[in-house]
Chains A and B, each alone.
Chain A
Amino acid sequence: MPTSADFEAADRVSRRRARLLPVLGILFIAGQPLYFANSGVEASQVKTYAWLVWAVLLLAVLAFAGGHFGSAAVRALVEDELTRANRLRAYAAGFWAGSMATIGLYGFSLFDNLKGRESLHIVLTVGIAAALIRFGALERRALRDG
């Protein structure tokens, strides 16, 4: 049975996560001009690997953040039914955003040449960022008093 301290700790972790995830999503999008800057569409290998590591880390954060802090009781509270539902809704938002980006790129490719890696980069960036922002927004709304 969780103690009062467990409930307080879970609340703290949830609030921190709800604040952090949208910021990470926005930074991920905002960092993209750096990726494409100075090299046109052809990004350097270093930038490519850095982005790849960043993308994988953000996916891990989206899937697991908050689920590995504190005791089993705290983890269960942080990852309760509502959080799992919010995460599924965030995944759906990521899917739709990625699909919309794909459609946009497909349309663009009718008029201009697109490289495969850059296309994948854009689709993944949009999808991951959308999911992070959506998850954070849902969690923040849930945490609001009322």
Chain B
Amino acid sequence: MGEALGNRLRDLRAERELTQAALAELVGVSRKTINTVENEVFVPSAALALRIARALSRPVEEIFYLRD
């Protein structure tokens, strides 16, 4: 219990040359949600994590990981 959730969202987004706003549109959430997930301020629900993974065409575990 208590592990923080890390992510590689910024790198994967940059790899696909997407802005936060563009990724937000693909996922169907506001830009601020993508911003806070990317900066690890907000831990997304499983549903949102899966939607982000689908938008980036990556498995969810490639984007999100447990930080020890």
Contact = CB atoms under 8 A, between A and B. Distances in A.
Interface of A: 1-2, 4, 7, 10-11, 14, 77-78, 80-83, 85, 139, 141-146
Interface of B: 21, 24-25, 28-33, 35-36, 39, 41-42, 44-45, 48
Contacts, number: 49
B48 A81 contact: yes
B25 A82 contact: no
Given A82-B42, A142-B41, A7 B33 contact: no
Contact of A146 (B25, B39, B48): B39
Nearest to A73: B28
Given A81-B45, A85-B42, A142-B41, A2 B25 contact: yes
Contact of A7 (B31, B45, B48): B31
What is the predominant secondary structure among interface residues of chain A facing chain B? helix
Nearest to A77: B30
Given A142-B42, A146-B39, A82 B33 contact: yes
B54 to A, nearest CB: 14
A82 B39 CA distance: 13
B32 A82 contact: yes
B2 to A, nearest CB: 18
A11 B45 CA distance: 21
A10 B34 CA distance: 14
A139 B35 CA distance: 11
A7 B39 contact: no
Given A7-B25, A7-B31, A81-B48, 20 more contacts: A2-B25, A2-B28, A4-B25, A10-B30, A11-B30, A11-B32, A77-B29, A80-B29, A81-B29, A81-B44, A81-B45, A82-B32, A82-B33, A83-B30, A85-B42, A139-B32, A142-B32, A142-B33, A144-B35, A146-B39
